[in-house]
Structure 1
Amino acid sequence: MQCFDKATMKQDSDAVNIPACFISSHEGFLGSIKNFIEDFVVTELDVSGEQVNAVAATQTADCASSYKNSDTRAECENDSLVSQDTDCGVDLALHSPESFDLALILGRSVNEELEQFVLTLRDEKPTKQELSLGSFADKHHRANVHRAVRQRFPFLMTVTIQPEIRVREDPDYRELLQLVTEDEAGDFFRFIDAKVQGSSYTFGPDDNKEHRTAVHHFLSRRFGKLVETKSFNDQGTTAISVRLRERGRPKKRSAEERKEEDVYTAFTLRKENLETLEAISYMAAALGILPSDFTYAGIKDKRAITYQSMVVKKVSPQRLHEKIAEFKKRGMGVSQIRSVSEPLRLGQLQGNHFDLVVRDLRPHGTVGTHSSAADTHARLAALVKEAVENVKARGFVNYYGPQRFGSGHSVQSDRVGLALLKEDMVSAVHLFFTPEEGDDPQSYAKRHFLQTNNAKESLALMPLSKARERLMLRALNRYGTGPDGCAQAWLNLPHSMRIFYPHAYCSRVWNEAAAHRLATLGHSVRRGDLVCMQEGQNKQEDTGETSLAQIHVVTDQEEQEGIYSLGQVLLPMPGNNVKYPENTMGTWYRERLARDGLDNCRFRVNSLKLNLPGCYRPLLASPRSLHCQLQRATSGEGAGEVTGERKQDRDSLALTLNFDLDSSCYATICLREIMKCDA
């Protein structure tokens, strides 16, 4: 094992949360990666271990004949899309009511007109003003415009004069607003619009019987066919509860329309230099649906070519085929389109296959001035062989990679997560909006918000592709920038986005724990370590950590007899439902959390509906099917470098690596162990 001071590592802020501690003692070498987009290719492995871009062509051909025959959908289902139950608290990206991005659905100019129209409705007098949102030939697009506008602005009503959609103030909303608070009126109208069978809505406590009677009368008069109401007493306070009637669906929703809601189309997405969520936003806008209608097994790198499985709801294979050319203009390719019966789940994959190229190879330290190119190449070949053999045999420390902490240089996501765990919502928002150096549009908008506290102006400056930032700014504009407004801004993000930040903090602690464990207790399994007793362990969604495996505490006798190997050792992710090691590592965890003010943390943020039960992650990981090849760089390489700091010598060597990793294991960390530096 080697543990180096960070000063010996390449100073890269992406690696600030990755301790410089290795499992093998080989020398390694220097090089650069991601010089070209083709240098980093990630291909998802489905639950059967097959690469998702290598499905048999016959399957696609068979499915092509089923586009117009829904009865044949079952014949085209991919076995890799079988639903799996999971246990740790990351849910699908189901959007909260205010997370609809109307700028994507309507277009920026129309959305700005709508925002301006809304401002004119804020005075106390009713108005019959209308605004046209334009014409929408596609009925699916029209349906989503209706849904998104009503959920975003519940005080508006939408009317279709085919194919045009117009909006105006809803008089029922203004009448209800005379009886209840603005938040209650908005939430009630969203509840009515969603029409989730079996759901209910409860107004705030109301001990005034006359006032309750007035609310009952209004609801019965305006919505009596849809809902039924009752007053109930709970611990001394009385409130009105509203429940959808069993047959509360509007009659205009035909059986055919309900059937369309259950259409699922699977496909393989190829993207270049795009975040997964960014790609989904583009596709949703083009298809006239919401981003939450897409499901996927995992998030993939931005700075790479990636292939991953996706399933989209309410879109037929035929419609998806029609958009292929439009997607291509955005750097996305869609293939292997087929009907399936259900969505994907996060974590519903076996892992990822990587095809990497490391360029401009050179030894650590200086090369003698009298060394010939042949000598240097021979030395590099020996260094590469030793490094690859070591990692094949011993694996690598299973650190979370830099992607886990976000790509920003100024503020890492783990610091935002720490502020959320301490329930300091204002600090968390300010950290979230800390800009990068430079004057790119995103940083300029963030800087403007921090300097002026003006969310509306910052929203106008924020690029449309920055979905998270725009969702936050909309809520801050509506609710204010105080503690309550900042809490609402975080609630405006989908749960899977909100919980990313506390998870990033816990990942940082895990990385530090792994380095401390190796530095202080070495390579042997020690008394008090936690080990997994079974091979087929259940794993948390999207993380690969053991969550339900039988956890065993190593005894003195087991340590002396060497029953367990280092590869079986688990370290816990901090949470409210984990066992900590019963040796010095347990003390380390307690002291580490106390240092950040989390000694009494329950790892729950009730105001944001966040719960972190914690789970267990193997200390080591190993690549499978690892192959490498050294080759001389051609004269054309290096001329078009995108990220490299050095010009590539015509005589330099390049290393090609191909391997598989389990889900939640990072290729950059495996490569770091091989090279003994940050590539």
Structure 2
Amino acid sequence: MATKRSLDGDDVSPNKRTRTELDGPVVPVGQSQQQQEEAVGITVFVSPEVAGFECVVKHRYTDFLVNEILPSGEVLHLTDLSDARKAARQAQHSDSRNGSKVEDRAVEQAAAPVEAEPAVKTEVDVKAEVQVGAEGGVKLEPGVKTEADVKVETSVNEPSDDQILDGPDLATEDRTTLLDIFGEDVTKKIVELYHAVLRNPQRKPRDHNTIASGVISEKSKRTEAHVAVRRIFDNKLQTETLQDQPGVIAVKASPPVGVSGPRGQHGPSRNGAPPKGKVGWQELGGEYLHFTLHKENKDTMEVLSYVAAQVKIPAKNFEFAGTKDRRGVTVQRVAVFRIRAERIADLNRSARGWRAGGFEYKKHGIGLGDLVGNEFLLTLRDLHVPAEEGLDAKQRLDLVKKIISQAGDSFKTNGFLNYYGLQRFGSFSTGTHVTGLKMLQGDLEGAVNSILTYSTALLPENVSDEAANTTPRDDIARADIIRKWREGTVGPAEIREAMPRRFSAESAIMQYLSKKDKRSGNLVQQEDWQGALNQIQRNLRLMYVHAYQSLVWNRVAGKRWELYGGNAVEGDLVIVNDKDTDDSAVKREEVDQDGEMIVKPAAEDSLAAEDTFTRARPLSKDEAESGKYSIFDVVLPQPGFDVLYPTNEIGKYYKEFMSSEEGGGLDPHNMRRSWKDASLSGSYRKIMARPLSGSLECRVTQYDDADEQLVETDLEKLQKADHGGRVHHSFNGNGATSAESSNGSKGTANGEREGSKIAAVLKFQLASSQYATMALRELCKGGARAYKPEFNTAR
């Protein structure tokens, strides 16, 4: 049974675990959502005078539909259900050249006889043969070349400086970009390194030269350098900012990307041998297979880990622009290196809760910046508004429509404070920002202990049968295994077996601290706290210190609004040269559709975190009063050693809050630490957000069945079309074609649905760094509550 709720959203039944705000943090019983938000600095509404409403979010996972917005501005949809053969044809024909069929050329090349190259022999071999020839009459075979000959020919064929810089592999505009960033000497060396990598694809990166740039003092220029090298040289080269030489960028060969099959070789293809080498893959269109992933009620990595296991490659080989929420239906683009389309399409037959389609070979993968944002289609159920008591059904419906319309108009015009949402701060009673604070304070033991905290109420023996219905099984398992580890009754093997996979940080820490000397049996790493933290994947590790930055940012954003409201004032910060453009700094943040930090599967992404933002400057009094800048241009820094702080009262508030007990006694002007992962350079985030293109569409409807589905997913539309059903691709996804809805609910003659309950279906788009939860908070004035599902707790 679902938990009964009072009108204000609190649980009626006692001793229940509260999970609110779209799968937000778990907090002690009795703590309201407002208290949770205030604890992390979420305190202000932009338009408090506009009436709010109460609703239930994510009653069904189909109530939360998310589709990526591609860099082209197109909203991504699943548009086909390809079988293996169709997927192969579709992907192979995606990059036809000169009207000929790629598939035919690939088959012809595979069938063509291979002409053997002349053998290359060492000088020792040649001398030996010469000697044998002198004594035994054996002569050198024609066409055999010595290493000396090869060296001479290579030297003769080596391109000149002008050829290197103007060669066919380097477009004029790319050459200009590199010269502007690095200068002629360094650019020449970088291009030479690139050619060396292409000539020797099997050579290990460490066997190639590392090129060091001169000092690049401007951070925006360093950012440009990272992006340019990766783009121009097709990810064959990588960059990193040297820590011991500030402003210097190292350019080196990228590590080879793993491919499928034993020992890195591709297995056989039922359509014939797969292309070998870069040229063969280019015939198909490129070395990266792109496809559209449609998933329902599953984590992104949960699906990709399954796919990876089936095609026998590491899960980290998959690339995507952002993780997507579990409890929802999401559509996103995924790329993988050198995998045939039919191998992924084959898995559709056994897929549960996901499908893959839209296969296409391309020359590049998917990385940062390959996502404009996300389009949301949200179904808000069981709506209640102020002053509805005593109204009949029609009057109540009319009042709900009026209030929703007013809230939507305000939302489109005035936007919402761009707070970091509750999910940014973790899922348990000790927030991730607490762990981050301890790391910044140098209390690494405290940081480890904060990660390994658990509530005794979640121990198996303390979970009642009633509470078990609303408590995830994984949370119970987590508490149980941490308790047993602290008691010393389990070791690394048991931890790996019993700890749910999504708690990778806890598992990694406990296994590391549990390592014993094989001879003595003594623990050898039990107090190596930094070593334990280093076992956590780096992006996940950084999440803790970023959570502290987010706490500070939230506090400051609320204070800024209280002091100055919705106008740009003297001393506010704006991005340099960013007027009338998108917030490029925010676009490059590694965040998902809810603003959550992305844990990328590819660890070799070398774009330095400290270089993912541009410069900001304070507004003068004249500029602030000119009207040129609005509140939507104003940014606030996350604290770090390489940011500017506002020159008005807000700049002083950073120091006031961070030096307080709640702020941890830190100095915003001293954020460097000896441990790199706790050394924060900072970044900028716009204080305000609103829907992209200023658009918000809404449909208010009635229904009776609490579980009635009110929209259709992309997959349902395709399946319905395949069965001959008419599908209306309207914004709300409702494919009903008459007064009878798709699931049998009745409607009125004019298409209005009938029922005792009211729901609203909202469609809007947000940039990738903005939280849907915070948008809903402003719309509903804090009245949105996430449905608490029942969980299978059989153990």
The 3-state SS of whatever aligns with 1:499 is helix
2:434 alignment partner, one of 400, 403, 415: 415
Is the contact between residue 66 and residue 72 of structure 1 (CA under 8 Å) also seen in structure 2? no
One-letter amino acid of the structure 2 residue matched with residue 459 of structure 1: R
Residue matched to 2:683:
615
TM-score (norm 1): 0.65
Alpha-carbon separation, structure 1, partners of 2:339 and 2:496: 31
2:704 alignment partner, one of 619, 634, 637: 634
Listed as ranges, the gaps of 5+ residues in structure 1 are 1-5, 77-192, 202-243, 245-251, 641-648
Alpha-carbon separation, structure 2, partners of 1:481 and 1:32: 51
Distance verdict in 2 for CA 1:473–1:553, change over 3 Å: same
- Taking every aligned residue pair, what percent have the same amino acid on both sides? 29
Q: Does 1:28 align with 2:71?
A: no
Judge which range, 480-489 or 559-568, deviates more. Answer: 480-489
Is the contact between residue 18 and residue 400 of structure 1 (CA under 8 Å) also seen in structure 2? no
One-letter amino acid of the structure 1 residue matched with residue 67 of structure 2: T
Distance verdict in 2 for CA 1:521–1:639, change over 3 Å: closer
| 1:253 positional shift | 7.8
Aligned-residue CA RMSD in angstroms?
A: 4.0
The structure in which a higher percent of residues are strand is: 1
1:507 alignment partner, one of 550, 553, 558: 550
Select the structure of larger CA radius of gyration: 2
Alpha-carbon separation, structure 1, partners of 2:325 and 2:294: 12
2:421 alignment partner, one of 401, 414, 421: 401
Please list the CA deviations of residues 122-167 of structure 1 after superposition, one character each: whole Å capped at 9, or x if unmatched: xxxxxxxxxxxxxxxxxxxxxxxxxxxxxxxxxxxxxxxxxxxxxx
Residue matched to 1:655:
760
1:443 alignment partner, one of 479, 500, 508: 479
Structure-to-structure mapping, 1:300-449, within 5 angstroms: 300-326=324-350, 328-329=351-352, 331-364=353-386, 367-368=388-389, 370-406=390-426, 408-435=427-454, 437-438=457-458, 439=460, 440-449=476-485
Alpha-carbon separation, structure 2, partners of 1:673 and 1:298: 24
2:631 alignment partner, one of 553, 566, 575: 566
Distance verdict in 2 for CA 1:71–1:651, change over 3 Å: closer
The 3-state SS of whatever aligns with 1:385 is helix
Alpha-carbon separation, structure 1, partners of 2:627 and 2:310: 59
Alpha-carbon separation, structure 2, partners of 1:332 and 1:35: 20
Distance verdict in 2 for CA 1:301–1:54, change over 3 Å: same
Is the contact between residue 566 and residue 620 of structure 1 (CA under 8 Å) also seen in structure 2? yes
One-letter amino acid of the structure 1 residue matched with residue 479 of structure 2: S
Distance verdict in 2 for CA 1:13–1:57, change over 3 Å: same
2:568 alignment partner, one of 511, 517, 525: 525
Listed as ranges, the gaps of 5+ residues in structure 2 are 1-20, 22-29, 101-201, 211-252, 254-262, 267-274, 461-475, 517-522, 596-610, 711-753, 785-795
| 1:399 positional shift | 0.9
| 1:671 positional shift | 1.1
| 1:316 positional shift | 2.1
Alpha-carbon separation, structure 2, partners of 1:359 and 1:16: 27
Is the contact between residue 637 and residue 684 of structure 2 (CA under 8 Å) also seen in structure 1? yes
Alpha-carbon separation, structure 2, partners of 1:21 and 1:70: 50
Residue matched to 1:535:
580
| 1:380 positional shift | 1.8
One-letter amino acid of the structure 2 residue matched with residue 593 of structure 1: M
1:472 alignment partner, one of 495, 509, 514: 509
Residue matched to 2:207:
198
Q: Does 1:664 align with 2:683?
A: no
Is the contact between residue 81 and residue 356 of structure 2 (CA under 8 Å) also seen in structure 1? no
Is the contact between residue 589 and residue 769 of structure 2 (CA under 8 Å) also seen in structure 1? no
Alpha-carbon separation, structure 1, partners of 2:557 and 2:506: 33
Alpha-carbon separation, structure 2, partners of 1:522 and 1:38: 37
Distance verdict in 2 for CA 1:297–1:605, change over 3 Å: farther
Is the contact between residue 90 and residue 359 of structure 2 (CA under 8 Å) also seen in structure 1? no
TM-score (norm 2): 0.56
One-letter amino acid of the structure 1 residue matched with residue 447 of structure 2: A
Alpha-carbon separation, structure 1, partners of 2:326 and 2:37: 14
Is the contact between residue 64 and residue 338 of structure 1 (CA under 8 Å) also seen in structure 2? no
Distance verdict in 2 for CA 1:70–1:54, change over 3 Å: closer
Alpha-carbon separation, structure 1, partners of 2:670 and 2:319: 30
1:498 alignment partner, one of 535, 538, 541: 541
One-letter amino acid of the structure 2 residue matched with residue 349 of structure 1: L
Structure-to-structure mapping, 1:205-216, within 5 angstroms: none
Distance verdict in 2 for CA 1:258–1:504, change over 3 Å: farther
Q: Does 1:17 align with 2:40?
A: yes
Alpha-carbon separation, structure 2, partners of 1:380 and 1:51: 30
| 1:383 positional shift | 1.1
Is the contact between residue 455 and residue 476 of structure 1 (CA under 8 Å) also seen in structure 2? no
One-letter amino acid of the structure 1 residue matched with residue 335 of structure 2: V
Is the contact between residue 495 and residue 511 of structure 2 (CA under 8 Å) also seen in structure 1? no
The 3-state SS of whatever aligns with 1:21 is coil
**Equivalenced residues, count:** 496
Structure-to-structure mapping, 1:178-197, within 5 angstroms: 195-197=204-206
| 1:29 positional shift | 0.8
| 1:675 positional shift | 0.7
Residue matched to 1:3:
none
